[in-house]
Amino acid sequence: MIKITLPDGSVREYAKGTTALQIALSISEGLARNVLAAKVNGEVWDATRAIHADSKVVLLTMNDVEGKSTLWHSSAHLMAEALEAIYPGTKFGIGPPIENGFYYDIDLGGKTISQDDFKKIEDKMLELARQGNEYKRSEVSKADAIQYFKEKADEYKLDLLEGLEDGNITFYQQGNFTDLCRGPHIPNTSFIKAVKLMNVAGAYWRGDEKNKMLTRVYAITFTKQKDLTDYLVLLEEAKKRDHRKLGKELELFAFSEKVGMGLPLWLPKGAALRERLIQFLQKQQLKNGYLPVATPHIGNKNLYITSGHYEKYGADSFQPIRTPHEGEEFFLKPMNCPHHCEIYKTSPRSYKDLPIRFAEFGTVYRYEQAGELHGLTRVRGFTQDDAHLFCRPDQVKEEFCKVIDLVLYVFKALDFNDFTAQISLRDPENKTKYIGSDENWALAEAAIIESSAEKGLKTVVELGEAAFYGPKLDFMVKDAIGRKWQLGTIQVDYNLPERFELEYTGSDNMKHRPVMIHRAPFGSLERFIAVLIEHCAGKFPLWLTPDQISVLPISEKYNDYAKKVLELLNNYDIRGLVDDRNEKIGKKIRDTELQKIPYMLIVGEKEEADNMVSVRKQGEGDLGSFSIQDFANIINTEIENRFIK
Ligand SMILES: [Zn+2]
Ligand SMILES: [Zn+2]
């Protein structure tokens, strides 16, 4: 018998050679129907693979990332089988799972696939899936593997085989299709119940433009039809919320090929919104004892050699800026931390001076591959709401508590109400991988765990996920349509204080190293605004939105009164515009709704005579007539209420 430890800590005994599927079956039949693969001692295995020793086993379903990717990877084999049946002679490159679904790169030998062909491929896949064919694993010699694909004349698999070692090669076969693959896979094809081809695109073999252009077929599958339906609804909703589309419609930001890919241009409304976010955080930071600093966009190469960033980013990033001086090189800064370390060093520090909190909205530059760029979420230049806290080891917990408060304040102000936090600790079995003393790690890890608990955060703890230089706390928010985004991070660092030889004089009159904490509640303004746009579908909270009101005169006769109304409201710090176009009031209302402006003030003869405005609220309709001052109070109270804790 062997002992199997399940994630809840329970230990069960099974006969040697049991499989994850049998373990699932011993728990419940329903579970067994959903088990796609298993994590055995940290490694993902086929659910049907025999387990011969005491092990920790996690059963994987569609609720797990690895479960999903096993289904999708297996579905790529199924799609390949369908494609081969429909287009004999097709050659196959690679077919990996991706974040949502999978693709297969194929060479159709001159034939093409279009949207019109999707249905027949989907039908074939479902037909094959229903056969319930097992994914059979077999070990093959390199010579036999080469022979097999030579007969098939599949030069891509032969190319892949070249890089593999003999004795380490496995084939998987399901139905009539055999693929070169390491696995793991789902037990059989009947788990695949719903299929959707999403897209076709061109892709160079091995991503190299000197190679042949293959056809990349994207698809997604699910174990239930309903999951596919839900996914397609979500996709539709996500399309409507796409920040690239809304950013253009709301005139927030733009990109220009001439300026360069991945370098966002903030338009007046977007820049003002950005500025409001900055001021909002700055105000809170000042209350919390942060000291603003400002540093340049470039730094000498030596700075980044000291910090270690040169080693990390040097070759794969923007190349150095040279000067007329031989050998002098500057880099665009990839991080603000090295500059802040140098600011720390400008004067001697005592234990009484700590903690010191330097804050800067610092713009950094990192070279991302063109194919990786995406709207504002993946850019080459972005501004971090960065701060570095230099403290004594015994102050880490208090600082963590304060930073968590700040992050929660930000989330509340922006309606991110559903979030979790991940605590990343070091791997206790591999302590040598990490820099910093055991004592300090223990202190910092306890500080993160305790402060998260005190603040009532929903947390997951991940062992071995800490950086080599310190443990961290990351916030994941769920947006309005259930997608998860990583925002905000708090990171302990023992490395940079060491590299920069930072010191303070302790109460013992001796020199000590401070602990450094990096933190950014937004992460970067670009990414944060992108997530925010998609979360609120462009309907920003009232305090942040570009235009809070639009004054709509019902005819040109009342344009002057409309302008007066706006001016008066400006005095109450309310911003907006007058729609004085020569259009019917109905059209003005519809257009204002499209611009997602929260309040419309309609003015005509009666309003002018009574010094009033008729108010319509976005999504709620008519609110009635108000004096200018009463309306100003409504808006300002609505904003204030949000910031009361
Ligand atoms: Zn495979
Ligand atoms: Zn930093």
Task: Give tens-digit pLDDT for 133-144.
Answer: 999 999 999 999
Q: Please confirm, yes or no, whether 386 is among the known catalytic residues.
A: yes
Least confident of 68-72, 419-423, 619-623: 619-623
Q: How far is the CA of 545 from the centre of ligand 2 (A)?
A: 29
Kindly name the residue from 309, 380, 388, 535 that is annotated as catalytic: 388
**Residues bordering ligand 2, an ion, CB closer than 5 Å:** 337, 518
Average pLDDT of span 157-178: 92
The answer to whether the beta carbons of residues 62 and 186 sit under 8 Å apart is: no
pLDDT at 468: 83
Q: How far is the CA of 225 from the centre of ligand 1 (A)?
A: 23
Q: Residue 236: is it exposed, middle or buried by C-beta count within 10 angstroms (0-12/13-18/19+)?
A: exposed
pLDDT at 123: 97
Per-residue pLDDT for 417 more than 70? yes
Confidence tier at 56 by pLDDT (50, 70, 90): very high
Q: Which residues contact 221 (CB under 8 A, 6 or more apart)?
A: 71, 72, 75, 78, 101, 102, 125, 192, 194, 195, 196, 228
Q: Ligand nearest 339 Cα, by number?
A: 2
**pTM: predicted TM-score of the whole model, two decimal places:** 0.81
Kindly name the residue from 386, 479, 493, 579 that is annotated as catalytic: 386
pLDDT at 362: 96
Sign of CA dihedral 315, 321, 324, 329: negative
Q: Ligand nearest 388 Cα, by number?
A: 2
Average pLDDT of span 240-247: 95
Q: How far is the CA of 487 from the centre of ligand 1 (A)?
A: 33
Q: How far is the CA of 364 from the centre of ligand 2 (A)?
A: 11
The CA-based angle 293-296-301, given to 5 degrees, is: 125
Cβ of 63: how many Cβ atoms within 10 Å? Answer: 8
Q: How far is the CA of 183 from the centre of ligand 1 (A)?
A: 5
Per-residue pLDDT reduced to its tens digit, 548-593: 999 999 999 999 999 999 999 999 999 999 999 999 999 999 999 8
Q: Residue 597: is it exposed, middle or buried by C-beta count within 10 angstroms (0-12/13-18/19+)?
A: buried
Q: Please confirm, yes or no, whether 185 is among the known catalytic residues.
A: no
Average pLDDT of span 79-91: 95
Kindly name the residue from 73, 339, 518, 527 that is annotated as catalytic: 518
pLDDT at 286: 96
Kindly name the residue from 77, 366, 397, 513 that is annotated as catalytic: 366
Q: Please confirm, yes or no, whether 173 is among the known catalytic residues.
A: no
Please confirm whether the linkage preceding 355 is cis (ω < 30° from 0).
yes
Q: How far is the CA of 160 from the centre of ligand 1 (A)?
A: 14
Q: How far is the CA of 171 from the centre of ligand 1 (A)?
A: 8
Q: Please confirm, yes or no, whether 518 is among the known catalytic residues.
A: yes
Average pLDDT of span 82-99: 95
pLDDT at 83: 96
Q: Is 63 helix (H, G, I), strand (E, B) or coil?
A: coil
**Residues bordering ligand 1, an ion, CB closer than 5 Å:** 181
Question: Looking at the chain, how many residues does it have?
Answer: 645
Per-residue pLDDT for 315 more than 80? no
Per-residue pLDDT reduced to its tens digit, 443-482: 889 989 999 999 999 999 999 988 888 899 999 999 888 8
β 549-553/253-254 pair status = unpaired
Q: Please confirm, yes or no, whether 391 is among the known catalytic residues.
A: no
pLDDT at 512: 96
Average pLDDT of span 54-73: 95
Q: How far is the CA of 479 from the centre of ligand 1 (A)?
A: 33
Per-residue pLDDT for 645 more than 60? no
pLDDT at 644: 62
Kindly name the residue from 39, 154, 349, 384 that is annotated as catalytic: 384
Least confident of 110-114, 185-189, 277-281, 510-514: 110-114
Per-residue pLDDT for 84 more than 90? yes
Q: How far is the CA of 205 from the centre of ligand 2 (A)?
A: 38
pLDDT at 132: 95
Q: Which long-range contacts (CB under 8 A, 24 or more apart) does 586-590 make?
A: 588/550, 588/552, 589/552, 589/616
Confidence tier at 428 by pLDDT (50, 70, 90): confident
Amino acid at 293: V
Per-residue tokens: 489: 């991070």
d(Cα 358, Cα 76) in Å, to the nearest integer? 50
Per-residue pLDDT for 255 more than 80? yes
pLDDT at 365: 94
pLDDT at 467: 86
Kindly name the residue from 181, 337, 341, 536 that is annotated as catalytic: 337
Q: How far is the CA of 102 from the centre of ligand 1 (A)?
A: 11
Three-class secondary structure assignment of 109-177: CCCCCCHHHHHHHHHHHHHHHHCCCECEEEEECHHHHHHHHHHCCCHHHHHHHHCCCCCCEEEEEECCE
Q: How far is the CA of 435 from the centre of ligand 2 (A)?
A: 17
Per-residue tokens: 541: 């909270």
Q: Ligand nearest 102 Cα, by number?
A: 1
The CA-based angle 536-482-464, given to 5 degrees, is: 115
Average predicted confidence (pLDDT) for the chain: 93
Kindly name the residue from 241, 472, 588, 596 that is annotated as catalytic: 472
Q: Please confirm, yes or no, whether 388 is among the known catalytic residues.
A: yes
Q: Please confirm, yes or no, whether 12 is among the known catalytic residues.
A: no
Phi and psi angles of residue 389, each rounded to the nearest 5 degrees, phi first: -105, 125
Per-residue pLDDT for 309 more than 90? no
Provide the 8-state DSSP code for 546.
S
β 472-478/298-300 pair status = unpaired
Per-residue pLDDT for 219 more than 90? yes
Confidence tier at 168 by pLDDT (50, 70, 90): confident
